[in-house]
Structure 1
Amino acid sequence: MKTLLLFVGLSISFAGFSQCPCFNVQPDSVGCAPYSFTVKDCSKGSVEYVYETNGTSTTLTTHTYDTPGLYFVTQSGNFTCGSTATIKKIKHSILVKPTPNPQLTSFACANNKAFILANDVQYDEYIFTNSNNQKDTIKKGSSGVIDLNFSPINIQGNYISGKCGGQTTLISSANVTLPNVSISKLILNEDFSIEMFYNGVSSEMYQIQIKDNVSNNYSIYDTIKNSSLQSFTLKALNKDKRYCIKIRAVDFCGQTGSFSNEICTVVMKGSAIAEKNNITWESISNGSSFSIDVNGQSKNDFQLRTQPRSYSDTNIKCGSIYCYKISETTIENAISTSNKVCLTAISKKKPVSISELSTSVKSGFVSLDWTSIISLFNNYSIFNSSDKSQYNFLGNSNATSFIDLINNPSVNQSCYKVSYTDNCGNTSDLSPVSCPVFLYGNVIDASIRNLVWKPYIGWLDGVKEYIVEKVDENGNPYSTINVGNTLEYVDKGLDTVEQVINFRIKVVSNSGKISYSNVWKALQKGNFNMPNAFTPNGDGLNDTFHAEGLFITEFNLEIWNRNGEGVFATKSFRQGWDGKVNGQNAPVDTYMYKVQAIDKEGNTYKRNGTLQLIK
């Protein structure tokens, strides 16, 4: 039996009457299985008791319930209370509770202590008694720390109502040593949260302490519990303060290990001025070395200065974005990385002008191309002149090319210059001039054409040669003549390929660059000849009467005899009369003909005449 500390008996009676049913239970009406109790009569009558459901009456006053449950004891007897004597009964309940072994959660701590979590809801409280008979009590749902130096520890589960319960034994395990821990890295994020990386044991708890540069006193920030990440992020911090952090192992009993190394944030600020990005940073700790990261590339070629430390970056391009971070390596070889600061470089310097501009006539328009000096720009401006003296604004381009849709390169020679404005608003000087070849000429007669051109201007390496090209209507050359560095050419002879001869000049630089002039057109008239006689005798010579000529696209020939009767007609320039009429040889005679022809340019030619048919 367990020791019961307090008993409050329960008695039931009827006041104002004698010899009425009355009894109580001792030691209590609540107990633990197996529960033995005694009933004590207070009616002063002759009584019997029933202890079990459907049980028999007995005068025994002691009984034991072996299993947990709710039981009822009934007292009966011939009582005289009331108006008449009669058999009366009274019933009293007995609650018998189970006594399982306590099931508690314990955590081993340093210095041979244990943290107990009373998460077993069976009992109201748990009483711990060590070998020196020292006691500690932990209420259900709460926790406590137990000293294991006097083991074994008896754990008694206790129902407050009943003062009993099951028990078990807690034996001391191996003593726990809190591990050492070190911080390896600290990163100050752009939102000014702090990401901390540490070298610890994943099953341990670690207490984070933090101080700022104002209060300079450490306080507990949080406790890391059973984390396998080996990292922790501190949030809701003041961006205007600098912080130092250290951590230490802590157990469930509140005992702590040694502090880690101290590591502090590095706070960076920056400003962009003309041709320079200035970076400053402050750190509470005295780092052994610093490195600067610029756009992901580490730079170590800078001089450290006293607080606040600073760095000026002059290796910058206007309009480019540069992002900086500072990493401080402490004497414990831990690394603290600052927040990232991004600056857009600015400049007041006039940018270098474009060194070379290329121009060429393509599809009837002047096309300009050039090479960009810098990778970032705002806008290119194109200027045009017809006399190489006064240059007027023509248009803008965001690319390194431009097509002049305004000036006709077949009318005169146009010359061009280009400037640009960088992302800092600085405008370069105009580039050197570039002028494509301007070709013109005149037709001396049907077989002589005189070509003259103005030279190409603009290539730094100069012109190697000019090539006179004849091109078809699709721009494909079918005749080329290299004329070296001369600026004129006389084209002789009848061109039998095209009625309209399209001339252009191809220019080649000493480095192989190509430019083309405008196209100059020389018109050849369409022509045809009609014989005045033919001999259709089958000897293969002059057997047909037909036209000969060039560039005729439409043709109509009609022939009549002297009686005005039609003997032949055709619309084919290549088809002639074979001297037959309805399959029979026409007689030798004089015949009349009429011809109408149209050439490729739409010119119409009409001719009437006579012909002799000779055998």
Structure 2
Amino acid sequence: MKKASFIGLFFLFTAVSAHAQYLSRLGRFSVDEIKGCAPLTVTILDANLITTGQCTAGFPCLMTSGDGSAAQQNQFIITYTQPGTYTLSVLYQNIGADDIQITVDPNIQPAFEVYTCSGFQTSIKITDKTYDQYFIDFNNDGTVETAIPNSNNQTASHNYGGAGTYNISVRGRDVNSANNCAAQVQSFTALPVLPVPQINTLTVLNNTSLQLDFTPQANIQYKLEIGINSGTVFQQFQTLYGVNTVTVPNLQTENNFYCFRLSAFDPCTNTNTYSAPVCSHNFDLAIENGNNRLTWATASVGVLNTEIIRNNSSYTTIPGSPNQLNDVDVVCKTNYCYQVINHYAGGGRSISLEKCGDAFTTVTPAAVTNVSAQVGSPGVQLSWQQDPGFSVAQYSVLRGQPGAGFSAIAQTPVRNFADPDYTPESGNCYRINYTDLCDNVSIQGILVCPIRLSATVDNENVITVRWNGFKGWQSGVANYQLQKFDKSGGLMATLNLGTDTVWVDDQPDEVNQVLQYVVTAHPVQVGLPNSVSNRLVVTREVNLFHPTAFTPDGVGPTENETFTVRGHYITRLELKVFDRWGTMVYYNRQNEPWNGTNNGRALPEGTYVWNAEILDFAGRTFKREGAVVILKKKKLSPVSFIFA
């Protein structure tokens, strides 16, 4: 649109505009408007400026609007709905055509800002540059209080004299245009004094910028001031209106801290009402041995407390405005991210840039000093406890003989391990070492020797059970418990033996040839699992006994009349007897006594060879053989017996 200076007084402009007529190019007709905002209605006022009787019912004219619509006869009122430049033409019957140019502008509501002043006043600033002049109605009641031309200082003020809510209307208009452009209307509340502003949040975004958030009051112009490394000395930075956030670029947040305060500006009195300052942090993170050291610089004015955020969660809150924190509650090779938040009186906050780093330590981890061992079939199951103050990356299981060195056999991340290759006969012991998350190797672990159970059986089937004292607990063994089982695993006895490592089983037992023993160690320290020995199976011997001679002569005594092979724990005995020529003279599968006959015929005196095939309670099959003499003479010496 055309930009022009305001010409003449408002009332003169209005008076002239109300009676304006615009002539066509050849002066044959006139219209009331040649320019205005869409929609613009143009009326042909007089079509006979140089003729008479034309454009009537008897001599009609053909009117063309120029907007693409069809020409019509005697159309004296034409409405243009779209912005553009049009040629309005009138075709006379006897003198030809005449035309006039019509300009239709976009119907733009002028943009303007309303500023609250103290004392129930307001000041407005028209930011629109579309029109030649602007008409301001401070009460939106149809009465224009102020008209101002297009310029670089399109401002006006008004005093309402009291509190209340009002509507302010601004309409734009070009010179020689219709007064049909739409008005912009804004609501305004008159106040006696300007409210004190507050910065809600200051957030450092990166190394060069930060963001300020606040809650603006309607129609108040704010001025933002900045202080570099100071909370008391400020300079003007930016004027704000109608926004609730602002990003401040081109800073050095790694080297400085910045303080801001916000003022509500009164353009009527050129005074300011200031907020409390809010300051950023010059924040650094140093990763040290076992300590993440946080340091920061900021202004302390107005700070109630300081909150430390660690890995997106609140870690600690410190009263006042400290400037450092040593975080020793850290785990090796763990990434930690920190932010410092200052909380101000009134609810404002300042949030620092996030700083991150991986913790480390060179402290040697404590040794594993409590390991339990349960011997199974096969192998051994080890389980252990470890100082929770150290975070483990990997455990190393070492196996070997005391005095002969140890070598690693496995790595595991958990606190247990099964060695399927362990046997009690190997005599192997173990140590558990580990590496923490910072690659520090622990002190050598305690020597762990599982309980190895063994036994001996004497000629009288007395069983002596022995075991090594368990090693693996820092505080040692409180007591040993021995359990005795039968062949099928049924519990026969449980014995508490204190700290003894030997037990003698001399109880007569004609029933149980096969016995099983297990020793369990109970720790002094509460909370540790028990350690269990291998399950030892002991088989008592059959211990055969038989006479070397017998006297089957019917004279007696009775026990000398037959020959029998006897013993303990015999399930079946198959007996065969042969004479000197190898002829079998007796056979029996039930171990019945032999009376010295063959098929009912008494055999002569002499030496006979016997052969016994035996199955015992343990399921073992074995053979024994010997010789026996048949005697029939009177007054013989007593018969002797041999045990085998």
**TM-score (structure 1 length as normaliser):** 0.63
SS in 2 for 1:518: coil
Label 1:68 to 1:238 Cα distance change in 2 as closer, same or farther (>3 A). same
The answer (yes or no) to whether the contact 1:503–1:520 under 8 Å persists in 2 is yes
Q: Distance in 1 between matches of 2:144 and 2:241?
A: 35
Q: Distance in 1 between matches of 2:239 and 2:511?
A: 94
Q: Distance in 1 between matches of 2:136 and 2:504?
A: 127
Q: Distance in 2 between matches of 1:173 and 1:326?
A: 40
More off after superposition, 236-245 vs 490-499: 490-499
Q: 1:49 Cα shift?
A: 1.0
Label 1:27 to 1:400 Cα distance change in 2 as closer, same or farther (>3 A). closer
Of residues 352, 356, 369 in structure 1, which corresponds to 2:366?
A: 352
Amino acid at match of 1:25: F
2:29 matched to 1:25?
A: yes
Label 1:233 to 1:441 Cα distance change in 2 as closer, same or farther (>3 A). farther
Amino acid at match of 2:430: Y
Label 1:192 to 1:473 Cα distance change in 2 as closer, same or farther (>3 A). farther
Label 1:27 to 1:36 Cα distance change in 2 as closer, same or farther (>3 A). closer
Corresponding residue of 1:90: 96
Of residues 373, 380, 384 in structure 2, which corresponds to 1:370?
A: 384
Label 1:66 to 1:127 Cα distance change in 2 as closer, same or farther (>3 A). farther
Label 1:40 to 1:113 Cα distance change in 2 as closer, same or farther (>3 A). same
Label 1:94 to 1:516 Cα distance change in 2 as closer, same or farther (>3 A). same
Q: 1:430 Cα shift?
A: 2.3
SS in 2 for 1:50: coil
2:237 matched to 1:219?
A: yes
Corresponding residue of 2:204: 188
The answer (yes or no) to whether the contact 2:304–2:321 under 8 Å persists in 1 is no
Label 1:218 to 1:163 Cα distance change in 2 as closer, same or farther (>3 A). closer
Amino acid at match of 2:533: S
Q: 1:376 Cα shift?
A: 1.0
Q: 1:400 Cα shift?
A: 2.4
Corresponding residue of 2:534: 518
Label 1:137 to 1:432 Cα distance change in 2 as closer, same or farther (>3 A). same
Amino acid at match of 2:279: C
SS in 2 for 1:353: coil
Identify unmatched segments of 5+ residues in structure 1.
13-22, 77-87, 529-547, 557-569, 574-588, 608-615
Corresponding residue of 1:531: none
Q: Deviations over 1:348-387 (max 9, x none)?
A: 3333333433333234323333221124123333444434
Give the total of aligned pairs.
510
Corresponding residue of 1:418: 432
The answer (yes or no) to whether the contact 1:159–1:165 under 8 Å persists in 2 is no
Query: % of aligned pairs identical?
Result: 19
The answer (yes or no) to whether the contact 2:32–2:44 under 8 Å persists in 1 is no
**TM-score (structure 2 length as normaliser):** 0.60
2:440 matched to 1:434?
A: no
Of residues 45, 49, 53 in structure 2, which corresponds to 1:40?
A: 49
More off after superposition, 290-299 vs 451-460: 290-299
The answer (yes or no) to whether the contact 1:381–1:393 under 8 Å persists in 2 is no
The answer (yes or no) to whether the contact 2:227–2:234 under 8 Å persists in 1 is yes
Corresponding residue of 2:289: 274
2:278 matched to 1:263?
A: yes
Label 1:124 to 1:485 Cα distance change in 2 as closer, same or farther (>3 A). closer
Q: Distance in 2 between matches of 1:152 and 1:518?
A: 98
SS in 2 for 1:455: coil
Q: Deviations over 1:412-453 (max 9, x none)?
A: 3x3333333333333332234332322111232484322122
Q: 1:487 Cα shift?
A: 2.1
Q: 1:213 Cα shift?
A: 5.7
Residue correspondence of structure 1 range 298-313 to structure 2 within 5 A = 298=316, 300=318, 309-313=323-327
Q: Distance in 2 between matches of 1:171 and 1:439?
A: 99
The answer (yes or no) to whether the contact 2:484–2:492 under 8 Å persists in 1 is yes
Corresponding residue of 1:399: 414
The two structures, once aligned, show a CA RMSD in angstroms of 5.7
The answer (yes or no) to whether the contact 1:466–1:484 under 8 Å persists in 2 is yes
2:214 matched to 1:198?
A: yes
Amino acid at match of 1:48: G
The answer (yes or no) to whether the contact 1:50–1:73 under 8 Å persists in 2 is no
SS in 2 for 1:506: strand
Q: 1:461 Cα shift?
A: 4.3
2:12 matched to 1:3?
A: no
The answer (yes or no) to whether the contact 1:73–1:91 under 8 Å persists in 2 is yes
Q: 1:408 Cα shift?
A: 1.8
The answer (yes or no) to whether the contact 1:2–1:164 under 8 Å persists in 2 is no
Corresponding residue of 2:55: 50
Of residues 369, 374, 379 in structure 1, which corresponds to 2:394?
A: 379
Identify unmatched segments of 5+ residues in structure 2.
1-13, 36-40, 61-73, 81-86, 138-142, 161-165, 545-566, 575-588, 591-599, 602-611, 625-644
SS in 1 for 2:202: strand
Label 1:180 to 1:272 Cα distance change in 2 as closer, same or farther (>3 A). same
